[in-house]
Every structure is written in C-alpha cells, then in structure tokens.
C-alpha cells in the first residue's frame, strides 16, 4: 500500500528522538539523545503506585483527573508560587504534557488562528498546530544567549494571532525566561488579547540561582494562561505519562473538550501515586534534585568544553546545546550520525527543532544529562577520543 498518512502529518515524519534512540541501540551508543533518566525516581513513589494498584482502584478515573491528584496539583501551585486554582474546575490531568499540548491546541484554536512559537521548539508544537489547523509564526532565538528581540516578536502579531506558546525553562536551549522577558510577553498578550499556553515541565530544574517564574503569575496573565507541567520530569517517571494543566475554567474547559475524546482519562493508580509524590516530595526533594542535576550539568559542560565544543552552560532543563564547528566539518545530522556510529555517543541534531531559520540548528548538537554520573563518565571517556576537526585519533 502507498503512503496513507494524513496529509497534515506527512511533513513531520518520524520523531528525531525515535530515530536517534534506534541508531544508538544499533551501535551500542550511550544515549545522550533522548531526554529520559537512566535511573529510577524515588522508590517510595513506586511503592505508592503499587499500593494504589493493589487497593482495587483500577477503573477509569474522573476525566479531568482523580480528585486526590487535582487537589495535590492545586496545593502545589499554592505552595510553590502562591497561585490559587480550584482543583475541580481549574485543573486537568493529561497523559503527559505531550497530550496536554495537543489537547490544548485542539481545544482552544480554530483553523486559521495564528500562534507564535519560539524556535528552537519542543517538537510536538508544530504537529499539534497542524492537527488543529492553526498556523505557526516563529521567532528564532539564537545561540549562545537565546535572547529575544521585542520588536521582532511584536512584528509577528496581527489580527489573526490568537495564542503564544512559551516553554520555560526551555528545551532544547536551557534558557530560563527572566521576569523582564516575561513582562514583555505579558504586555503583548494583554495589548493584543492573546492566550498563552506555557509548557513548564522543567519548572523545578533551574541552576545557579535562576528562578522559574510561571507566566501566569504576572499581573493580568492568570486569566489568559494555561500552564502545563508533568510528573515525568520532576519525579523521573517519564514512562508514567502523568501531566497536567492549570488555568482559568474557560481555558481548562477548552483543553478538556479535546482531552475527553483523546484519552478520556489516564491511569488511576499512577495518578494516585503522583498525588502522593506532590504531597510528600516537596522542598527538600527539589533541593536535592537540583543539586544532583547541577553536578551532572557541570560535569558534562566541562567535558564538552574540553573536547572543543562551544557552549553556554544551560540555566535550566537537562539539556545542553553545543556548537561542534571546531571539531567536525558537516551539518548537525552528519555530526549526530558520526558521533553515534564512530564514538558511540548519541546526540540529537536540533535542526529538527527549527522551521524558520533551520540553518541556526545545523551547527549544534543537543545532549541530555538526565543520566547517572557513571553514564556521563563513560560518555566522557568516549568524548576524549575525539580530536578537533573530525580527526579521529
């Protein structure tokens, strides 16, 4: 049979994560490509899931989220940011932030609406927009500091603009948007009556005193912002796929309108375990988590610099974008394939995360450091065999 994929999804092919993970497996490479931890989250949270499984609570959960979980989510926003959400009306639980993104785009946008995206973007935003019939407008952030130009942002707005999607801390750049930057974005949303969809799955992964500020905390923004997050990142259970959205009832209702037909609800026992995590793994856990990730980041950044990559240390997330021009002559795909096959370390070629200025990504590689120190040390051994300009000693 010929190609039967729907036209609107054909441009997106297979995700680069699946491609690079398969290549890493084929070559026995250390997988610094896909962002999943190679260690377990806290065993007490696994035990909470086992207890929930054994308690006989194994049928469909409430579509918008198990009451225990939506309450725990609402409380966590109060504790972390002083934000108040009604657990039953202003919270919705998704199958990971990925479903949250697509459900929100499908539920809140009409065909022809325009949406502003920062690039490099998380790769599910453009296909989510394609499914909803909305049209992306891209603002390119450039290495090494990924600052943005207010005038360029404003120039993207017209009467069809409906929404801005913001990812902070930002994958793959590691950028944490500052209060001043958020104020600029908020002012634009207020002036042009835009909705904001914020992807804050790395909300707790910030370094060197950087502070994550939810856009919804800025004056006037709570009423127009749907904030997404996920237990996958904070508790290292990416395979559980428990994510959530918080926002005013009107926006939650919009996302829910799609969510009810996409997944209806997500696994009941895992929701209860994540409720346990949100209630019991708070300040001390987050401080430990940040300290461990700071050590991993510092190690990988110094290894990459020693090898000859150019990079700025990320202020957030567990990714680093590194410029390989001084050690390899070719584009990002050629580099990622070469590194995986010849040096058995896998990375992501980030040009897949650009649409407007793809050239920006062609000299960069994305490495994930959500890995045990031993894994990073083993990768460091392999990196040290690389000599500048692709001369493999």
Interacting residue ranges for ligand PLP, rule: CB under 6 A:
35, 96-98, 122, 167, 171, 199, 201, 230, 232, 238, 241, 243
**257 Cα distance to chain centroid:** 23
> In sequence order, what DSSP letters do the residues of 241-284 get, joined into one string?
-EEEEE--HHHHHHHHHHHHHHTSS--HHHHHHHHHHHHHS-HH
Q: Which residues, in sequence order, are bridge partners of residue 228? A: 199, 245
Q: Which residue, 96 or 267, is less far from ligand PLP as judged by CB? A: 96
Q: How far is the CB of 197 from ligand PLP (least distance, A)?
A: 11
DSSP conformational letter for 9: G
* Nearer of residues 93 and 380 to ligand PLP, judged by Cβ: 93
Residue nearest to ligand PLP (CB): 96
Name which of 119 and 199 has its Cβ closer to ligand PLP: 199
Least Å distance between CB 72 and ligand PLP? 16
Q: How far apart are CA 199 and CA 197, in angstroms?
A: 7
Closer of 195 and 386 to ligand PLP (Cβ): 195
Q: How far is the CB of 122 from ligand PLP (least distance, A)?
A: 4
For the sheet with 91-95, list strands across it.
Answer: 91-95, 242-246, 225-230, 195-199, 161-167, 114-119, 135-140
Residues contacting 82, CB < 8 A, separation 6+: 217
Count of C-beta atoms within a 10 Å radius of residue 239: 10
As measured in angstroms, the least distance from the Cβ of 240 to ligand PLP is: 9
241/272 with CB nearer ligand PLP: 241
Q: Please state the closest distance from residue 158 (CB atom) to ligand PLP, in A.
A: 26
């Amino acid at each position: 049979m010929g190609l039967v994929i729907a036209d609107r999804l054909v441009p997106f092919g297979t995700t680069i994560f699946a491609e690079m993970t398969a290549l890493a497996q084929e070559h026995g490479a250390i997988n610094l490509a896909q962002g999943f931890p190679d260690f377990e989250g806290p065993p007490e949270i696994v035990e909470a899931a086992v207890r929930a499984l054994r308690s006989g609570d194994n049928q469909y959960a409430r579509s918008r989220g198990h009451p225990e979980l939506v309450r725990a989510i609402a409380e966590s926003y109060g504790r972390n940011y002083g934000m108040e959400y009604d657990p039953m009306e202003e919270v919705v639980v998704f199958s990971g932030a990925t479903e949250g993104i697509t459900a929100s785009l499908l539920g809140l946008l009409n065909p022809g609406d325009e949406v502003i995206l920062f690039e490099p973007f998380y790769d599910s935003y453009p296909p989510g927009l394609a499914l909803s019939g909305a049209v992306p407008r891209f603002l390119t952030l450039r290495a090494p500091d990924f600052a943005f130009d207010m005038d360029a942002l404003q120039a993207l707005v017209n009467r069809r603009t409906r929404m801005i999607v913001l990812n902070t801390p930002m994958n793959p750049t590691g950028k944490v948007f500052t209060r001043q930057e958020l104020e600029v974005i908020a002012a634009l949303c207020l002036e042009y009556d835009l909705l904001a969809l914020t992807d804050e799955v790395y909300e707790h992964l910030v370094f060197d005193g950087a502070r994550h500020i939810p856009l919804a905390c800025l004056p006037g923004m709570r009423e127009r912002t749907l904030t997404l997050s996920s237990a996958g990142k904070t508790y290292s259970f990416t395979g559980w796929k428990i994510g959530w959205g918080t926002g005013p009832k009107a926006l939650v209702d919009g996302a829910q309108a799609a969510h009810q037909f996409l997944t209806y609800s997500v696994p009941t026992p895992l929701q209860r375990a994540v409720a346990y995590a949100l209630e019991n793994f708070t300040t001390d856990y987050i401080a430990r988590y940040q300290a461990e990730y700071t050590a991993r980041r510092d190690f990988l950044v110094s290894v990459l610099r020693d090898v000859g990559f150019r990079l700025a240390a990320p202020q957030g997330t567990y990714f680093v974008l590194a410029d390989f021009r001084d050690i390899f002559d070719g584009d990002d795909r050629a580099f990622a394939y070469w590194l995986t096959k010849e040096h058995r370390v896998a990375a992501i070629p980030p040009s897949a995360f650009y649409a407007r200025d793809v050239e920006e990504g062609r000299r960069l590689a994305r490495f994930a450091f959500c890995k045990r120190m031993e894994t990073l040390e083993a990768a460091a051994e392999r990196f040290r065999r690389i000599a500048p300009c692709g001369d493999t000693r």
